């Protein structure tokens, strides 16, 4: 990374909250409405629908969130940061358990946040800076857990964290009839990561 490039200390620094009391109330109503709207069942909720749910005009929504991506950022950035930093809580677990526990957390968190998944792993010039920062935070968190498991000889050495995240992210994006289906698929996928001597 070039020395002149600056990276925010936290992803949350990229999301600015209004300071005036009335503006903050509208902001929080929009966040609550968007959080309810951006579910697996309603990932395509329009901004107009979110404004209506929040009880504010569309102009108020656009003043706070000029784009759909900026609204998704505000709704989910703290949770993504928490998911990334939670990897450090697993240091006392054995390497395999630490890695799989964190991957289960990842699938559990993003599995019901399909609007976030669409943005988080999008590519191209239009991908917002905050999602690139979130993606980097998640990959960095997972990389430490994966390397520790590889060094312990319990995970295949030919895997990268990007491949693992794409694998479990695909499971998180798949519609499942219930949580047991997703958990079974994840268990099967994780078993494929194990080192198996020839």
Q: Do domains 18-66 and 71-191 have the same CATH topology?
A: no
Q: What is the pLDDT of residues 64-116, one digit of tens each?
A: 999 888 888 888 887 888 899 999 999 899 999 999 999 999 988 887 777 77
Q: What is the pLDDT of residues 1-45, one digit of tens each?
A: 343 333 344 444 445 666 678 888 999 999 999 888 876 555 678
pLDDT score for 173:
79
- pLDDT of 198 strictly over 70: no
Per residue in 47-86, is it b (16+ CB within 10 Å) or e — as a string?
A: beebbebbebeeebbeebbeebbbbbbbbbbeebbebbee
Spell out the domain ranges in the chain: 18-66, 71-191
Could you tell me if 109 and 83 are in contact, meaning their C-beta atoms sit under 8 angstroms apart?
yes
Q: What is the pLDDT of residues 110-148, one digit of tens each?
A: 877 777 777 777 765 555 677 888 888 899 999 999 999
CATH architecture of 18-66: Orthogonal Bundle (1.10)
Is it true that domain 71-191 has CATH number 1.10.1060.10? no
Q: Residue 34's closest CA among 57, 50, 55, 19?
A: 50
pTM score > 0.85 for this model?
no
């Amino acid at each position: 990374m070039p020395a002149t490039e600056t990276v925010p200390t936290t992803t949350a620094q990229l999301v600015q909250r209004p300071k005036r009391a009335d503006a903050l109330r509208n902001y929080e109503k929009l966040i609550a409405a968007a959080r309810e709207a951006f579910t697996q069942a309603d990932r395509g909720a329009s901004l107009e629908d979110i404004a209506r749910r929040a009880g504010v005009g569309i102009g108020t929504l656009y003043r706070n969130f000029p784009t759909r991506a900026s609204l998704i950022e505000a709704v989910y950035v703290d949770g993504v940061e928490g998911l990334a930093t939670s990897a450090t809580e697993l240091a006392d677990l054995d390497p395999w358990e630490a890695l799989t526990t964190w991957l289960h957390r990842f699938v559990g968190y993003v599995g019901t946040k399909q609007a976030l998944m669409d943005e988080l792993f999008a590519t191209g010039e239009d991908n917002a800076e905050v999602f690139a920062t979130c993606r980097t935070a998640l990959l960095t968190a997972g990389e430490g857990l994966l390397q520790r498991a590889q060094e312990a000889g319990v995970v295949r050495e030919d895997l990268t964290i990007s491949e693992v995240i794409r694998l479990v992210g695909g499971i998180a994006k798949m519609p499942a009839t219930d949580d047991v289906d997703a958990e079974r698929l994840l268990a099967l996928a994780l078993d494929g990561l194990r080192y198996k001597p020839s």
